[in-house]
Amino acid sequence: MINVILSGCNGKMGKVISNAVKDGGTVKIVAGFDINTEKNFDYPVFDDFDKITVPANVVIDFSHPANLEKVLCYCTKNNVSAVIATTGFDGAQTEKIFDAAKKIPVFYTANMSIGVNLITALARQAARVLQGNFDIEIIEKHHNQKIDAPSGTALMIADEIKKELDETPEYVYDRHSVRKKRDKNEIGLHSVRGGNIVGEHTVIFAGNDEVVEITHKAASKEIFALGSIKAAKFLSGKSAGLYNMQDIMNM
């Protein structure tokens, strides 16, 4: 049995994960962690990691960047693995995730769906072939409750594309504040927020007389929940290190 502490358990993703593991299997949520300590499922909910005494193998975190330090502190102190799915971290916070991965197994990805991780690899391949002649723009669409922009996934895709480009690209988030033509080495990142759109990502490669578009559309939050459960299982028995969906896809 893999015992999970679910961080952000009372959020949208926390609830979807709680429902996904409710009917048994090899993963059990033994405690929830959230600033909102409402009890909605059959596990206790805490707002302080020091109050959690039940043994756990892994923390799954879908919460808020402000919570990262507490999650990593609990995991490294107690030798518990971490699945970090929260997005919107700054550079210093990302470094803290990398540092923690020197001590414990950490699975970190901005998107837990296999489909998104596949289109990320496809976009990287497209960038390798098309660079120089095609302008790259990324459009992401999400629900009106999302607080970070651009999405962690859009940034992840841009970072992967960047690895293929001979010239370091400049990420451009706002074309409104400047009056000038697009530079060749830009990657434009654009966010749409509305309704209950689960998550859509399109990478556009626009060339002369031809456009290549690679799109992923999520139809439910369950794909992310199931991905994070898979990630928790994947970490079982692993040594300290940084893992992501590519490791699962290459298995």
Ligand X SMILES: O=C(O)C1=N[C@H](C(=O)O)C[C@H](O)C1
Tell me if 153 contacts ligand X by CB under 6 A: yes
Helix (H, G, I), strand (E, B) or coil at 66: helix
Q: Using CB under 6 A, which residues numbered 122 to 161 contact ligand NAI? A: 148, 152
DSSP state of 103: T
Q: Which of 13, 58, 119, 235 binds ligand NAI (CB under 6 A)?
A: 13
Q: Using CB under 6 A, which residues numbered 180 to 199 contact ligand NAI? A: none
Q: Which is nearer to ligand X, 94 or 236 (CB)?
A: 94
Burial of 179 (0-12, 13-18, 19+ CB in 10 A): exposed
DSSP state of 169: P
Tell me if 35 contacts ligand NAI by CB under 6 A: yes
List phi, psi (to 5°) of 128.
-60, -45
Q: Using CB under 6 A, which residues numbered 97 to 136 contact ligand X? A: 110-111
CB of 102 to ligand NAI, least distance (A): 22
Rounded Cα–Cα distance for residues 183 and 133 (Å)? 12
- On whether 112 is known to bind a ligand per the annotation, the reply is yes
Catalytic annotation on 238?
no
Catalytic annotation on 142?
yes
Give bridge partners of residue 138 from the DSSP assignment: 189, 203
Q: Which residue type is seen at 213?
A: E
CB of 82 to ligand NAI, least distance (A): 13
Which residue shows structure tokens 């000038």? 180
Rounded Cα–Cα distance for residues 98 and 22 (Å)? 32
Which residues are part of the catalytic machinery? 142, 146
Q: Which residues are annotated as a binding site for NADP(+)?
A: 39
Q: Which residues of the shown chain bind ligand NAI in the complex (CB under 6 A)?
A: 8, 10-14, 34-36, 62-64, 66-67, 85-88, 109-112, 148, 152, 224
